[in-house]
């Protein structure tokens, strides 16, 4: 098992329900970042504990960051203090996730993981 894990032949992935741990607010952040700062800004945002995913994308908003926070006020604070402070960010569109049906291949019902 150690050999399989150390070579990357075997990977372990865990799917969990954030709401069960007190994280009730998720959102997609569509950021418009200066092209010269895109890689650095994306790398920095990906290290934030609130960020669950970050990727460069095409279009006016060229950086997508998905987030999970404990509350709406925590999301607001994250966007205004951490995201807003990233160099190169010119604009942010926040799209809240109001209801999640599926994540990472697992279905959710009442914030609990369901068998597939």
Q: Are 88 and 41 in contact (CB under 8 A)?
A: yes
pLDDT of 112 strictly over 70? no
Beta bridge partner(s), residue 32: 91
pTM here? 0.77
Q: Decide the pairing of beta strands 63-69 and 51-56.
A: antiparallel
3-state helix, strand, coil in the chain (%, to 5): 30, 35, 35
- pLDDT tens string 23-69: 889 999 999 999 999 999 999 999 999 999 999 999 999 999 999 99
- Please check the confidence at residue 113 and state whether its pLDDT lies above 80: no
């Amino acid at each position: 098992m150690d050999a399989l894990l150390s070579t990357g032949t075997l990977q372990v992935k865990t799917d969990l329900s954030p709401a069960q741990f007190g994280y009730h607010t998720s959102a997609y952040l569509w950021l418009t970042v200066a092209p010269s700062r895109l890689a650095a800004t994306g790398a920095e945002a990906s290290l934030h504990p609130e960020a669950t995913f970050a990727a460069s994308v095409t279009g006016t908003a060229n950086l997508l960051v998905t987030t999970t926070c404990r509350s709406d006020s925590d999301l607001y604070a994250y966007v205004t203090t951490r995201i807003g402070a990233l160099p190169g960010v010119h604009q942010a569109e926040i799209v809240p996730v109001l209801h999640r049906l599926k994540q990472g291949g697992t279905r959710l019902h009442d914030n609990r993981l369901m068998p597939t």
